[in-house]
Amino acid sequence: AQKVTQAQTEISVVEKEDVTLDCVYETRDTTYYLFWYKQPPSGELVFLIRRNSFDEQNEISGRYSWNFQKSTSSFNFTITASQVVDSAVYFCALSEAGTASKLTFGTGTRLQVTL
């Protein structure tokens, strides 16, 4: 069965610091998909990125970057020069091919960015 582990429960940083959120996953499938979602205080889960298992190319989008390493089953998320607006709970999730794309979520990491 699939599993997603986010070992960091809560992280506090000062604005402009870089921060990395860790995500480790388990799956027996060779084809799978990894996601990051942001949940601000409003409660809505906001989609950030999706990666498939056969594309290990890292991705950068503005201040956000993602490092996908199959060798360590990790899909880490880095925010560069963090801002107060980045404060939220971040969830890593996994879906496997053939499972109707049901998402298995990690427990989330709460990021607090202060001035």
Partner 1 sequence: GAGVSQSPSNKVTEKGKDVELRCDPISGHTALYWYRQSLGQGLEFLIYFQGNSAPDKSGLPSDRFSAERTGGSVSTLTIQRTQQEDSAVYLCASSLVLTAAKNIQYFGAGTRLSVL
Q: Per rule CB under 8 A, is residue 97 in the interface with partner 1?
A: yes
Q: Per rule CB under 8 A, is residue 12 in the interface with partner 1?
A: no
Those residues with Cβ within 8 angstroms of residue 16's Cβ, 6 or more apart along the chain or in another chain: 81, 82, 83
Q: Per rule CB under 8 A, is residue 37 in the interface with partner 1?
A: yes
| Distances, alpha carbon 12 to alpha carbons 47, 76, 111, in Å | 22, 17, 6
Residue 51: CB atoms within 10 Å: 18
Position among 20, 58, 99, 114 found at the interface with partner 1 (CB under 8 A):
99
Position among 9, 30, 42, 61 found at the interface with partner 1 (CB under 8 A):
42
Position among 76, 96, 109, 113 found at the interface with partner 1 (CB under 8 A):
96
